[in-house]
Structure 1
Amino acid sequence: MASKLPLGEHVRRLSLCVVVMTAAVLPGSIHAQESSPNISFVNDVVPVLTKAGCNAGVCHAKAGGGQKGFHLSLLGFEAEEDYEHIVKENRGRRLFLSAPENSLLLTKASGKTPHGGGLRIKADSQAYQILLNWIRQGATFDGEVAPKLLAVDVQPGRGTVQRNTEQQLKAVAKYSDGSERDVTEQALFESNDKSMADVSDRGLVKVLDIPGKVAIMVRYQGRITVFNASIPLGAPVENVPPSKNFVDDLVFANLKEIGVPPSPVCDDATYLRRITLDISGRLPTEEESRAFLANTAADKRDQVIDNLLSSPEYADFFANKWTAMLKNRRDDASDITSNFAFYAWVRDSLLANKPYDQMVRELLAATGTVIANPPVAWYKRVKEPKQQLEDVAQLFLGVRMQCAQCHHHPFERWSQDDYYSLSAFFTQVGRKPSATRGEDLIFHKRGVAVATNIKTGASLKPGALGDAIPAIAPDEDPRLKLADWMSSPQNPFFAKALVNRYWKHFFRRGLIEPEDDIRDSNPPTNPELLAALEKHFIESHFDLKSLVKVIVQSNAYQLSATPNEHNIADVQNYSRYYPRRLQAEVMLDAIDDLTGAKTDFPNLPAGTRAIALPDNSYNNASPFLRVFGRPENESVCECERIQSSSLAQSLHLMNAADIKGKLATGSGRADRLSKSDKPPEERIRELYMVAFSREPKAEELKVAVDYLAEPLLDSAGNPVDVQRAGQEKFQDLIWALINTKEFLFNH
């Protein structure tokens, strides 16, 4: 009895027979096929479709079935599936083996047939000829026999490229049979900073006018390499501040390499305000500023660092940072217990300078109740293994795994198996109600930890991004093994992710940017510096305060924000300090300090500062915090915090009722200064010392004193009472200082 074949297979075989019979009477066709090299579906056809964008996420690889019923795997990672869709799906209608030129695969891509994606492959191109010859040769699949792609190299791999010049790149694929192939035509190229350099689809790099380091990603069939270019300015670098530590050595060496002279070291007033805001999230007090400016000790800046790192405000400020990323969020009134307990655990850990690896271990492996063991509160917000692995990878490893849940990561080596192997560490986390309302008891469920790849159905044991993990017994908590791997000195991600995150905290820009997207195709601007910081952090046994100290002791951190004629365009080499707007909580506290008013927060002790708020719920009661972008603690990404300026923010500072109320409060600074017997000059100096940690310039002082001396008239033109006039004028002066960039920015 004849075997039954699917209708689509009958059609394909019939078409193939027609090709053979046609070839028998058309010798020219035989000659055309014999003269063409054998076309590989895996190594020739799929790269053509990838280059043309056919299997991009916005086209036929779109989630939910592709485009117009035609589905391809993202970037060709599943070649066998793609073959099935192209050749056999819909009764083989996409290929016409008896007349290859009429195949829909060609006519749509070349624009001969209406195509929603437009023209993708020109009919006179090499790519078109590859597809045509593959169809002529029978449209076969060679997945089992085709040489395996091992790597792709770019030539040159790195180099110095002058501004406003071009550099041609060559992509070379290396295969398992020892062969190599120039795949420049089929490779994809992308610049990591188009303001510095752009690249054509054929690998021609066009360098622009901004000096620094730029990377061009070269991607070919799941393999990625990078061309690293140094773009020199070429200016003489002579007056470099002395090096205080390895940070300076490596920052200044890079500046000399690219010929970008740094700005000078900032003055004492600027330094004190900058370091106090960056470490403790507050303005220096008037007394601190005056004492520091009067201090003549050579090591007075180091003394300030030590004092700030031992202060409770340091713990407040960095606990505010970490609890936002760890999603300490209040969605219900019953959350208050876990919110306060978790915040206190983070703050106390930072104040005691608990080693970072120990903090992470306590969090990951937490069991029990939030009352007995506050880190379990994290499992209240992050409940599912998939979300747990994604948050842990992004926050603690700097690796974004989200894409790998559904398909191979488009910019990295991570597969779906890597994704689910990492999630397997969390599959044995159990929970049950505890005696505290709204809180669970977290425990380890005995059993073998496995996770299922939803696409292949494979059961996967815990795996750590390609690294082998020792066997885990059923009664062992897999999370402890994960913590062991993460804190190992050989771990390529853990320490690197943290030092890059902290570098960004103090310099506005990470050595890798975004700070939580560490991958081969996103290299650091100063790899030697990143490696040195990572080494220091590991050798210090993950000491966070030691890391902060080595960063802020450097003259690189202490450079002026004022650019010189050569570094004004520099945004990545740290040739000057990059100013940034104060965070919402810091700005609110600074306004309170300058106005002498205090913001009251519900159910918290009087005098609680905004940087010490334990969770996101206080945003609801504060229009200021909402307008200036305090996060809702919904994401591990610090990008949830809004640091950009807006019209709404400007209007709020100028006109909002809460700002007016702080200025006019009877116990505030404006009221007190208006009643003071001190000379006007001394009162003005107080304002400047609180706002900017410096004395007013002569012109600033004269303008302010003259304004105070002017009579204040009411709407009818009559003089206003002297006491009232004094209050309103000091309110005006404070309002004016608040609305300056010098006040609103750390610089």
Structure 2
Amino acid sequence: MMMQSVLFVLLLALGAASAEKADAKPKADAKPKADAKPKAEPEKPGRPLPLTAPSDRIHVEIFDKIPEKKKWDFKLDEPTETFSEQSFGIVEIPHRYRDGLRVDRSNPILYRASCQLTIPEGKKRLLLRGRWATRLFIDGKKVGELPFPHPGSGAHGELEDLSSDLTPNIRQLFPGDREKAVAWTSDGKRHTFVMDVIVGGRRRRLELGEMSLSVAEPGSEFVVLSPTSQDVELTDASWLPYEKRFREEMLRRNQRRREESDVKERDYWKKRHDAIAQEIGKKPAIVVPTVSEEMPVHNEIDRFLGARLQEKGLQPAGLADDDVFLRRLTLDLRGNLPTAEEIAAFREHRGEGRRERAIDRLLDDPGWADHWVGYWQDVLAENPNLLNPTLNNTGPFRYWIHESFLDNKPMDRFVTELVMMRGSERFGGPAGFGVATQNDVPMAAKANVLGQAFLGAKMQCARCHDAPSHPFEQRDLFSLAAMLKRKPQSVPKSSSVPGTKEELAEMMVTVSLKPGEKLPPVWPFENLHGEKLREDWLRNPKDSRERLALHITSPENERFAGVLVNRLWHRYMGRGIVDPVDDWESVDPTHPELLGYLRRELIGNGYDFKHVARLILSSHAYQRAVDPSLQEEEDAIELYATRQRRRMSAEQVVDSLFQVAGKGFGCEELNLDINGRRDLKNSLNFGYPTRAWQFSTLANERDRPSLNLPYARTMTSLLETFGWRNTRQNPVTYRNTEPTVLQPASMTNGLAVHRVAQLSDDSGLTVLSMKDQPVEKLVEELFRRTLSRDPSASEKDLFVEYLREGYGDRVVPGASLERYAPKRTREGISWTNHLSNKSNELANRLEQQAQLGDEPTEVLTPAWRERMEDTVWTLVNTPEFVFIP
């Protein structure tokens, strides 16, 4: 009996091991050797398949609350949402919003796409590609499917075979995706195609990979099925530009979705702002000083500044010239350089008002949002991590910052949403601000961030003791923490300083709270309110977090509005009216009346940041030239008699460099779980960066070279050289702007600048070089692209002479330019295989390839191309390039 029991256990173990082995490497994942024969199977019980569908678009339905099991035998209710796509090539699902904030979807979901299509008569091949379990139906009959994926998330797997030999030029599979080809004969009539995909499950991110349904004639490339006229072949040359257009349209679609979800919230804030405006209108007008006729005045800002200049007997500098103004304005508002086309258009519009038109145009540019994100990432200590983001990191609430400025959200609403910490925690909602794992008082850390960012109150010392140089006690910080926590906050043992009373007294340190003491959720700064809090504005009076938000953003709290306009002033004028801008406790404003005027303008205009920005940018003070002789005058800088040159921020340097090149960053996906196998709490995906703010710290352990992202690392290295922080554990307003020897070294020898100067097929400089124009015109345009001005006569002669040799024969006869950016996927290296020797060997080869930069174009003769590359390298390495005039 004992022997039989042992044998039975062994049989069970062998059976389980066989099942696990089959699950670990399912046969369906293998590359198909031949077209499979379709099986005509009816759908299992559930919501009936659509037998009719639109013929002019792909109709998409999303079904939430799908059971998390590897089976299709479930019933469906009504779809949660419906929308349309243009083809069966899908790489992204629209975000879901509530009250204008990103929220999480249920996991998993069913994604159903259907359309009526007429395919020419004859034998065809259909190709399904995707990451998730997928079924294809034609007229209600199943003809092909992809099986449920294996969920393994270990690190010892093997590299996936991403190649495909179905057609000569077919795009290789995206990591984590599978494919299935089936033979099908079309009768030339209209048929209903339905593609069902179960996305997610087992706590995986709801990412599609590169999902597609394509058709091919015998001997031809696969073409993505679409009811529209666009023909997208499943080749790199065709798919990559299509994917770029798809993602750009998705940004616009998500903006419309935010607007549709935000009607009630916008109405609440409009009523609140209308009430504030009425009250402001009843208050006495601010007295604007008068100035002499010799003092230049564009608006009231110049009168406030001019009165002080008159007192000191200073005459301010004149206006900067048009090229300087446009360069300064574009860098300040959009974060990169004006294009040659923008410079030409600005020059053509002579007469009054063209500077105002340029200001309005750039305030409406989406780059306004991009340029603000990096600033608030620093100020709000946004600190996500790609890998295992649970070590005192935040969530990636950068996307909420970007969308807030893209929508020109009122700043009191912006701060309220941050304090409330609602929405998605890991995928771009302000809830990500609340993440602070492995911290015994996470909300105390958040209270310090909020105080420094919006009240000019530095309270970090109060974490352990009363602040010796500021009027903040431990009680103040922990009371705010309790308001954020929505219940009393206990003081941890770490919030103390060892030593006797006598020793602490010698150190001028007072520890006023004892470990274990509980602080109630109360607002500690009653001095910031002249009147009682407006209870009728609270939608949930019992919510201490909402009460805190109202305390901060109340119009009676003039400190809040003052801090905001002072931050704007500092950003555009180089120094704050109150300086430092994040510590107001021991500093008096240089121009208190001007500060009061700007504060009222912000409050009375619905906390619209753009309104105050427009006032500052339109002033003569902003538009003044840099006058070195005035800078020698006492108080000239403090009184804004002249401008100071500012060095570009790290993000401005990188964004401007690649704008000069006219090509994208060409980086890998910022994702170490590229095949989507890990638990969503263990890995983040920041996608393919298009602006510098989208980079983050790149987790790479010394003994794991396969986790390296070589192209992205060249970008972050350059960013760090110019003061960018790859981690942001603490809030910071002032980055280190001191010049270092590494900065010119990175510009002259760094790989990022090397890639900018390289004339590759995807470079706009290659297109410019092929343009039929005199070499003199080429030199002029290069100067406008890089330095935002025309060359001097001597500069022009020098560069024309250098580029003239071989210019007439620079274009190789018969050569064609394929302008699509490479999409680097690290050839399938992911967390699930990063410990394998093959992954490490491949990663080393990719590193070596990255060190060579981009493949040079073959449409230009090598000798002249190198001359052009030398010219570009020289221009971006002039000291003038990295400065804002």
TM-score by length of 2: 0.50
Task: Quote the residue 2:432 is aligned against.
Answer: 377
1:589 aligns with 2:655: yes
Query: How far 1:392 sits from its partner (Å)?
Result: 0.9
Query: How far 1:260 sits from its partner (Å)?
Result: 2.7
Task: Quote the residue 1:547 is aligned against.
Answer: 612
Identify the range of structure 1 (384-393 vs 552-561) with the bigger mean alpha-carbon deviation: 384-393
1:265 aligns with 2:319: yes
CA contact (8 A) 1:670 1:727 kept: no
Query: How far 1:375 sits from its partner (Å)?
Result: 1.1
Identify the range of structure 1 (615-624 vs 550-559) with the bigger mean alpha-carbon deviation: 615-624
1:658 aligns with 2:796: no
Distance 1:495 1:565, change over 3 A: closer
Please point out which of 783, 794, 798 is paired with 1:699.
794
* Structure 1 residue matching 2:456: 3-state secondary structure: coil
Please point out which of 587, 596, 603 is paired with 1:538.
603
CA contact (8 A) 1:580 1:746 kept: yes
Task: Quote the residue 2:299 is aligned against.
Answer: 245
Distance 1:518 1:710, change over 3 A: same
Query: How far 1:729 sits from its partner (Å)?
Result: 2.4
CA contact (8 A) 2:651 2:724 kept: yes
Please point out which of 321, 341, 363 is paired with 1:309.
363
Distance 1:340 1:317, change over 3 A: farther
Equivalent residue letter for 1:682: K
1:743 aligns with 2:801: no
Query: How far 1:552 sits from its partner (Å)?
Result: 0.6
1:201-257: CA deviations, max 9, x gaps?
xxxxxxxxxxxxxxxxxxxxxxxxxxxxxxxxxxxx989553122211112222222
1:537-574: CA deviations, max 9, x gaps?
11112111111111111111000123335656643221
Query: How far 1:582 sits from its partner (Å)?
Result: 1.1
Query: How far 1:401 sits from its partner (Å)?
Result: 1.4
* Structure 2 residue matching 1:557: 3-state secondary structure: helix
Task: Quote the residue 1:365 is aligned against.
Answer: 420
Query: How far 1:656 sits from its partner (Å)?
Result: 1.9
Query: How far 1:703 sits from its partner (Å)?
Result: 2.2
Q: Separation in 2 of the partners of 1:613 and 1:276?
A: 20
CA contact (8 A) 1:385 1:424 kept: yes
Task: Quote the residue 2:556 is aligned against.
Answer: 490
Query: How far 1:373 sits from its partner (Å)?
Result: 8.3
1:595-627: CA deviations, max 9, x gaps?
334312332799843335164449745221222
1:285 aligns with 2:339: yes
Unmatched tracts of structure 2, length 5 or more: 1-290, 490-510, 671-685, 699-708, 808-859
1:390 aligns with 2:448: yes
Q: Separation in 2 of the partners of 1:345 and 1:504?
A: 23
Query: How far 1:708 sits from its partner (Å)?
Result: 3.2
CA contact (8 A) 1:601 1:608 kept: yes
Q: Separation in 1 of the partners of 2:764 and 2:639?
A: 41
Query: How far 1:329 sits from its partner (Å)?
Result: 2.2
* Structure 1 residue matching 2:296: 3-state secondary structure: coil
CA contact (8 A) 1:653 1:659 kept: yes
Task: Quote the residue 1:647 is aligned against.
Answer: 741
Unmatched tracts of structure 1, length 5 or more: 1-236, 432-450, 713-721
Please point out which of 404, 420, 425 is paired with 2:483.
425
Q: Separation in 2 of the partners of 1:744 and 1:370?
A: 36
- Aligned Cα root-mean-square deviation (Å): 3.6
Query: How far 1:367 sits from its partner (Å)?
Result: 4.0
* Structure 1 residue matching 2:628: 3-state secondary structure: coil
Task: Quote the residue 1:462 is aligned against.
Answer: 522
Within 5 Å, which residues of 2 pair with 1:62-461? 242-333=296-387, 335=389, 342-367=397-422, 369-370=424-425, 374-381=429-436, 384-428=442-486, 453-454=513-514, 457=517, 459-461=519-521
Task: Quote the residue 1:628 is aligned against.
Answer: 722
Identify the range of structure 1 (549-558 vs 651-660) with the bigger mean alpha-carbon deviation: 651-660
Please point out which of 545, 568, 575 is paired with 1:502.
568
* Structure 1 residue matching 2:408: 3-state secondary structure: coil
Q: Separation in 2 of the partners of 1:475 and 1:261?
A: 54
Q: Separation in 2 of the partners of 1:609 and 1:476?
A: 43
Task: Quote the residue 1:528 is aligned against.
Answer: 593
Q: Separation in 2 of the partners of 1:621 and 1:671?
A: 22
Q: Separation in 2 of the partners of 1:578 and 1:657?
A: 31
Query: How far 1:655 sits from its partner (Å)?
Result: 1.6
Please point out which of 520, 530, 545 is paired with 1:479.
545
Distance 1:552 1:379, change over 3 A: same
CA contact (8 A) 1:512 1:524 kept: yes
Distance 1:364 1:429, change over 3 A: farther
Equivalent residue letter for 1:312: P
Task: Quote the residue 1:611 is aligned against.
Answer: 692
Q: Separation in 1 of the partners of 2:748 and 2:418?
A: 43
Q: Separation in 2 of the partners of 1:511 and 1:683?
A: 44
CA contact (8 A) 1:269 1:692 kept: no
Equivalent residue letter for 1:613: Q
Q: Separation in 2 of the partners of 1:240 and 1:609?
A: 47
Q: Separation in 2 of the partners of 1:400 and 1:375?
A: 22
CA contact (8 A) 1:398 1:518 kept: yes
Distance 1:340 1:416, change over 3 A: closer
Query: How far 1:495 sits from its partner (Å)?
Result: 0.9
- Aligned length in residues: 482
CA contact (8 A) 2:419 2:484 kept: no
CA contact (8 A) 2:394 2:433 kept: no
Query: How far 1:341 sits from its partner (Å)?
Result: 6.5
Distance 1:606 1:482, change over 3 A: closer
CA contact (8 A) 1:681 1:701 kept: yes
Q: Separation in 2 of the partners of 1:514 and 1:610?
A: 28
Equivalent residue letter for 1:454: K
Query: How far 1:633 sits from its partner (Å)?
Result: 4.6
1:462-481: CA deviations, max 9, x gaps?
12324488799998111111
CA contact (8 A) 2:423 2:430 kept: no
Task: Quote the residue 1:684 is aligned against.
Answer: 779
Equivalent residue letter for 2:623: Q
Identify the range of structure 1 (699-708 vs 264-273) with the bigger mean alpha-carbon deviation: 699-708
Equivalent residue letter for 1:257: E
CA contact (8 A) 1:260 1:567 kept: no
Q: Separation in 2 of the partners of 1:682 and 1:373?
A: 45
CA contact (8 A) 1:663 1:735 kept: yes
CA contact (8 A) 1:342 1:375 kept: yes
Identify the range of structure 1 (294-303 vs 327-336) with the bigger mean alpha-carbon deviation: 327-336
1:94-113: CA deviations, max 9, x gaps?
xxxxxxxxxxxxxxxxxxxx
* Structure 2 residue matching 1:404: 3-state secondary structure: helix
Equivalent residue letter for 2:873: W
Equivalent residue letter for 1:609: T
* Structure 2 residue matching 1:378: 3-state secondary structure: helix
Q: Separation in 1 of the partners of 2:573 and 2:558?
A: 23
Task: Quote the residue 1:71 is aligned against.
Answer: none
Query: How far 1:651 sits from its partner (Å)?
Result: 0.8
1:16-37: CA deviations, max 9, x gaps?
xxxxxxxxxxxxxxxxxxxxxx
Distance 1:669 1:487, change over 3 A: closer
* Structure 2 residue matching 1:638: 3-state secondary structure: coil
CA contact (8 A) 2:488 2:521 kept: no
Identify the range of structure 1 (241-250 vs 311-320) with the bigger mean alpha-carbon deviation: 241-250
